[in-house]
């Protein structure tokens, strides 16, 4: 079998997916900075090494910042009733409960970090190769995996078809306010594409007994990296659990001191 993964990728998609999950889990669980910062930085460095462009990262950063800031502002302006407890503080003449602000900042940080990691990972994982790898491991999911591949590839085709429809609409002088009707030919194209894809899958005999021309499995180097990352994460987690109470106390004291200075 011919190597189908490593011709264009430095690592197997499973490695990218693993590092992404290990960077996301501490943020979701709510561990302090001692746990999630090293893996967040490690994930970003791995993404850049895998080929992530600086321009893409900047665009993702600005998008994540805008989305997170919007959520932060909405959380402050329209807080949940059960959050409106405790002391109040004044920010630019606007009184707000300190607990509301604390929760809004926590949600802002989590959403911002999760957006950066998840969106940037989509540019380096190689979703199509990841799906093909999973289909070779679970043969009964082969038709389902190929259906997902058809849907992913259809995104580019739909975008190109939408551009062609817009060009035709401009040539015919269709006003922008009436361009909504151009969605109907796009819907027809999507239905026809799904029918052609289904017929192609049937003609090629896509089933659980499919024989693959390319090899999508992990090589020896990636297996070593996989287990090295897992072991490092477990060691880091155990170390964090051993000193975590002290780190939490230190960070809480710092936060309390900062709030005193601001107030």
Q: What is the pLDDT of residues 81-109, one digit of tens each?
A: 777 777 777 766 677 777 777 888 888 88
Domain co-membership, 23 together with 118: yes
| Bigger pLDDT: 168 vs 43 | 43
DSSP SS3 for 96 = strand
Looking at the fold, whether 119 and 137 belong to one and the same domain comes out as no
Q: Are residues 34 and 119 in the same domain?
A: yes
Counted domains in the chain: 2
Residues 199-228: what's their mean pLDDT? 73
| Percent of the chain residues topping a pLDDT of 70 | 78
Q: What's the chain's Rg over C-alpha atoms?
A: 24
Does a structural domain hold residue 18? yes
Same domain for 119 and 51, yes or no, is yes
pLDDT of residue 209: 63
- The 3-state secondary structure of 129-144, one letter per residue: HHHHHHHHHCHHHHHH
* Position 58 pLDDT exceeds 90: yes
Q: CA-to-CA distance for 5 and 216, rounded, in angstroms?
A: 6
Which residues, listed in sequence order, are joined to residue 214 by a DSSP beta bridge? 2
For 151, the domain range is 128-209
Is the model's pLDDT at 243 over the cut of 70? no
pTM for this entry: 0.68
Domain boundary among 209, 226, 241: 209
Element (H, E) at 215: strand 214-215
What number is the average pLDDT over the span 146-171?
79
């Amino acid at each position: 079998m011919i190597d189908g993964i490593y011709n264009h990728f430095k690592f197997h998609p499973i490695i990218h997916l693993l590092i992404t999950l290990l960077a996301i889990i501490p943020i979701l669980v709510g561990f302090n900075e001692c746990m999630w910062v090293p893996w967040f930085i490690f994930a970003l460095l791995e993404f850049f090494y895998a080929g992530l462009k600086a321009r893409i990262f900047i665009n993702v950063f600005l998008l994540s910042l805008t989305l997170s800031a919007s959520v932060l502002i909405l959380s402050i302006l329209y807080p949940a009733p059960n959050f409106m407890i405790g002391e109040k503080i004044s920010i630019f003449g606007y009184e707000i409960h300190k607990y509301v602000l604390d929760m809004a900042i926590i949600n802002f940080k989590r959403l911002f970090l999760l957006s950066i990691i998840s969106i940037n990972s989509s540019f380096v994982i190689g979703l199509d190769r990841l799906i093909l790898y999973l289909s070779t491991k679970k043969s009964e999911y082969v038709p389902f995996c190929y259906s997902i591949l058809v849907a992913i590839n259809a995104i580019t085709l739909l975008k190109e078809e939408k551009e062609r429809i817009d060009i035709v609409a401009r040539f015919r002088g269709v006003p922008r306010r009436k361009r909504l009707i151009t969605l109907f030919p796009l819907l027809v194209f999507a239905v026809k594409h799904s029918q052609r894809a289904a017929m192609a899958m049937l003609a090629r005999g896509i089933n659980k007994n499919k024989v693959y021309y390319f090899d999508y499995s992990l090589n020896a180097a990636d297996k070593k990296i996989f287990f090295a990352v897992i072991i490092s994460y477990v060691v880091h987690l155990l170390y964090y659990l051993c000193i975590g109470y002290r780190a939490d106390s230190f960070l809480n004291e710092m936060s309390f001191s900062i709030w005193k200075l601001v107030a």
